Amino acid sequence: MAFPDGFLWGGATAANQYEGGWIEGGKGPAVADAIAGGNNLTHEPRKLWVDLPDGTREVITMGQEVPAGATAYIDPDRYYPSHDATDFYHHWREDLALFAEMNFKCFRMSINWTRVFPHGDDEIPNEEGLKFYEDVFRECKRLGIEPLVTLDHFDCPLHLADEYDGWVSRHTLEAFERYCDLVLTRYKGLVHWWLTINEINVCGDYFNCGVHEAKSNKQHREQALWHLFVASAYAVKRAHEIDADNRVGLMIAHGASYPYSCNPEDVWCELENNRGFRWFYGDVQVRGYYPSYKVKELECEGIAIAKEPGDDELLREGTVDFYSFSYYFSEALKADANRDLGGVPGLNKKGVENPYLRKTDWGWAIDPLGLRIVLNQIWDRYQIPLMIVENGIGLIDEKLPDGTVEDDARIDYMREHIKTMRDAIEIDGVDLIGYTPWGCIDIVSAGTGEMRKRYGFIYVDRDDEGKGDFSRSRKKSFYYMKKVYGSNGADLE
Ligand code: BG6
């Protein structure tokens, strides 16, 4: 069976992990640029760099948390993976040509907010930055590739984080609205597919949102989240007003979630966790209001969100056209588990190992059938088109002297997941419209800042110390995906 006509086969990236050129062409720093190679999943006190009157500098420790390895200022003696990343900024023509060779119909990327507005809230935008993306989109068009553009992929401007505490502040929301207006207008006719806020359900901390006390201060977290929902609704509404042909999706990290056993305590635990971590975010962005269980939770915990007149209406007006999500793994939930899995993104503190599944080197359970389960659950709940905008396996790849990489484990992973997508469409009738696997070309890991955790079908010569010449080479999986895409999913062997 081939996939439906017009199915959007492609690949996905994000500017903060791929683009590089961090202060070239007038770009300003974003939060990711102040996170040294390290681990975003554990946190430590924020340190500030202060210029003293005698010309020296002092580092002071603040009572706020940032990811371990984040400096929240740029120290010239440290290595920051996002500064060069894998250098799309200088390799975009070559990369787009490789994607076209792989038969991409769609390419997911994000606009770097600080390439357009260097501080996030400048009066005048940076024309050189705007021109950069225009050139990229024009080249996509020439190659017959639809750009799928994320407006905010873990990309808070450093200035807004430092001065306004990121998305806790209404100022950040207003700055984002101006940025949206500008790019939606500027790229009218060149881009028709948009995503609003990447993985809005994991957003809230310094890395994602520039918020300093997200882990310890739920009031801040919920306020920032409200602003993100309003921002997303604003983007949807404006995208539709500016161009009736625009299609806008949400973006949620949506792994599969199972009760560990048939013990009703485990079933309830799973329901409550899945609802809180995943469904809540879809419910708001597809239906346009906070569901009753969330309203009750906020009431019980005495959390009052500061809203402005018109916010609630905007949420209702800005519901999305399609549900797009990342799928990497599943988790099993146990009511009496008291185990912290050490910050694996998406895995809950009540998560336990699933004895039926294998794991990657980074502890992510490999579960292709889980994808079919999730596709069915989302389709049953919302009945709007679905798109998988991230999926893939992080592996340690070894480049052979001839430039190739024998990544059979990646091919197996892709094949098994695409088969369950096919089943969901063919047998279950799910309206799945596209598939953009993550890190179609090697990029920096968001969770750990590593280069050695690679997802790509194209190898990039760059390592964890910042060494390498950025040369690109085709992995074995490149040829596999090319065949799959070229046959519209009919040839999976
Ligand atoms: C998603 C993010 O969480 O997963 C990406 O949207 C991220 O930015 C991807 O890179 C894979 O996670 P990691 O930590 O392996 O890079």
Residue nearest to atom 10 of ligand 1 (CA): 446
Q: Looking at the CA of residue 439, tell me the nearest atom of ligand 1.
A: 10
Atom 4, ligand 1: residue with shortest CA distance:
446
CB 7 within 8 A of CB 435: yes
Q: Is 89 left (phi over 0), alpha (psi -120 to 50) or beta?
A: alpha
pLDDT confidence of residue 46: 54
Q: Render pLDDT for 402-435 as a digit per residue (tens, 0 to 9).
A: 889 999 999 999 999 999 999 999 999 999 999 9
Q: Which atom of ligand 1 is nearest to the CA of 198?
A: 6
Q: Which string of DSSP letters, residue by residue, matches 1-21?
A: -PPPTT-EEEEE--HHHHT--
pLDDT for 71 equals: 62
**pLDDT digits 0-9 by tens, 88-108:** 999 999 999 999 999 999 999
* 437 half-sphere exposure, CB direction, 13 A CA radius: 28
pLDDT of residue 317: 98
For the CA of 438, the closest atom of ligand 1 is 9
Q: From the centroid of its chain, how far is CA 363?
A: 19
Closest ligand 1 atom, residue 253 Cα: 3
Asked if residue 315 lies in contact with residue 325, where contact means CB atoms within 8 angstroms, the answer is no
In angstroms, what is the span from residue 447 Cα to ligand 1's centroid? Answer: 6
C-alpha 55 – ligand 1 centre gap (Å): 40
Whether the predicted pLDDT of 343 surpasses 60: no
Annotation says 134 is catalytic: no
Residues with CB under 6 A from ligand 1: 14, 17, 154, 198-199, 253, 326, 345, 390, 394, 438, 445-448, 453
Q: Among 19, 65, 390, 450, which one carries the catalytic annotation?
A: 390
- Ligand 1 pocket test, pick from 152, 153, 326 with the greatest ligand atom count within 8 Å of Cβ, gives 326
Q: What's the gap in Å between 256 CA and the centre of ligand 1?
A: 16
Query: What's the burial of 173, exposed, middle or buried (CB within 10 Å: 0-12/13-18/19+)?
Result: buried
* C-alpha count within 13 angstroms, C-beta hemisphere, residue 430: 28
Name the nearest CA neighbour of 421 among 363, 473, 488, 341.
488
Please work out, in degrees rounded to the nearest 5, the angle formed at the alpha carbon of residue 104 by the alpha carbons of 100 and 106: 120
Closest CA to 446 of 12, 42, 82: 82
Instruction: Report how far ligand 1's centroid is from the alpha carbon of 168 (Å).
Output: 23
pLDDT above 70 (res 487):
yes
402 CA from centroid of ligand 1 (Å):
29
Residue with the smallest CA separation from ligand 1 atom 9 is 446
Cα of 408 vs centre of ligand 1, distance in Å, is 21
Of 42, 387, 438, the residue with max ligand 1 atoms within 8 A of its CB, to mutate for a pocket test, comes to 438
pLDDT digits (tens, 9 = 90+) for 309-332: 999 999 999 999 999 999 999 999
Query: 212 Cβ partners below 8 Å, 6+ apart?
Result: 46, 62, 64, 65, 66, 161, 165, 166, 206
> What is the reported pLDDT for 346?
42
Quick: pLDDT tens for 208-262: 888 887 667 889 999 999 999 999 999 999 999 999 999 999 999 999 999 999 9
- 446 alpha carbon – ligand 1 mean position (Å): 5
Smallest Cα–Cα separation from 14: which of 389, 434, 453, 363?
Answer: 389
Q: 138-157 pLDDT, tens per residue?
A: 999 999 999 999 999 999 99
Q: How far is the CA of 199 from the centre of ligand 1 (A)?
A: 9
Atom of ligand 1 nearest to the CA of 154: 8
Kindly report the protein residue whose alpha carbon is nearest to atom 2 of ligand 1: 446
| Catalytic residue check, 128 | no
Q: How do strand 57-67 and strand 43-51 relate by DSSP bridges?
A: antiparallel
Rounded Cα distance between 346 and 354, Å, is 15
**pLDDT the model gives residue 36:** 73
The answer to whether residue 344 scores a pLDDT higher than 80 is: no
Which of 146, 199, 213, 450 is an active site residue?
199
* Cα 9 from Cα 489, distance rounded (Å): 9
Query: For a pocket test of ligand 1, which of 445, 453, 464 has the largest count of ligand atoms closer than 8 A to its C-beta?
Result: 445
Q: Which atom of ligand 1 is nearest to the CA of 447?
A: 14
- Percent of the chain beyond pLDDT 70? 89
Percent of the chain with pLDDT over 90: 77
Interstrand relation of 146-152 and 106-110 (parallel, antiparallel or unpaired):
parallel
pLDDT at 45 over 60: no
Q: Record the pTM.
A: 0.93
